């Protein structure tokens, strides 16, 4: 329950959210970290440790104000990802050992950002529709049929599990621009 005297425009709430986001981004591996280029390994133990890992990833994603997070981004080479379609505020979906069962021929180019490349946005071509087979956190088989933004999020996070970043999927010009921005920030 929210305090009736507090509004969303309250600077205290905004400052707390900014602090949580900064702390979360500090816990997420950033561009240049070699784990981001590693290929994640299949999970075979569906236990409390896996459930804790997925729950922690979901909380970290929310605190970072993201809509998806792959295990590589937290330094673990497990083949797991979490995402939430509704601006990161909706329920967290958890996919273990995801594989694409089907993807449409229809593709679209759209802007993407990444918690491992904060404040960078590049255009990436993605399939509009797809079906993903995975396991849930208890090892049960699940299938997700996704389109639009949800399909984009899943493809982005699955790329992470294969060591692929958005910079690997964009045009040469956009990659150069993004790398210049990253270098400028590192020098500032």
Other beta carbons within 10 Å of 55: 14
Please give the helix or strand (H or E) that residue 30 lies within, else none. none
Q: Considering Cα of 75, then 78, then 83, then 89, what sign does the dihedral take?
A: negative
Instruction: Compute the distance between CA of residue 117 and CA of residue 147 in angstroms, rounded to an integer.
Output: 24
CA dist 34 → 37, 59, 76, 105, 169 (Å): 5, 24, 12, 32, 18
Q: What is the DSSP letter of 100?
A: E
The structure tokens listed for 135 are 């396991």
Helices (H), 9-82: 11-27, 48-63
Q: 108 an active-site residue? A: no
| Set 53, 112, 150, 157: catalytic member | 157
Question: Helix 11-27 to helix 48-63 angle, to the nearest 10 degrees?
Answer: 130
Cβ pair 117, 30 in contact under 8 A = yes
Q: Tell me the catalytic residues.
A: 157
């Amino acid at each position: 329950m929210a305090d009736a005297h507090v509004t969303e425009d309250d600077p205290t709430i905004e400052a707390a959210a900014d602090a949580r986001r900064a702390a979360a981004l500090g816990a997420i591996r950033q561009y240049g970290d070699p784990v981001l280029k590693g290929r994640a390994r299949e999970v075979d133990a569906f236990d409390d440790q896996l459930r804790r890992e997925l729950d922690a990833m979901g909380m970290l994603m929310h605190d970072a104000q993201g809509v998806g997070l792959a295990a590589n981004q937290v330094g673990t080479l497990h083949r797991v990802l979490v995402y939430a379609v509704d601006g990161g505020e909706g329920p967290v979906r958890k996919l273990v050992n995801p594989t694409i069962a089907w993807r449409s021929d229809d593709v679209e180019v759209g802007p993407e950002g990444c918690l491992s490349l904060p404040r960078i946005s590049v255009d990436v071509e993605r399939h509009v529709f797809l079906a993903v087979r995975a396991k849930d956190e208890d090892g049960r088989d699940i299938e997700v049929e996704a389109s639009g933004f949800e399909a984009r999020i899943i493809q982005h996070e699955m790329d992470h599990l294969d060591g692929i970043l958005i910079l690997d999927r964009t045009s040469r010009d956009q990659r150069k621009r993004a790398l210049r921005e990253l270098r400028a920030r590192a020098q500032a």
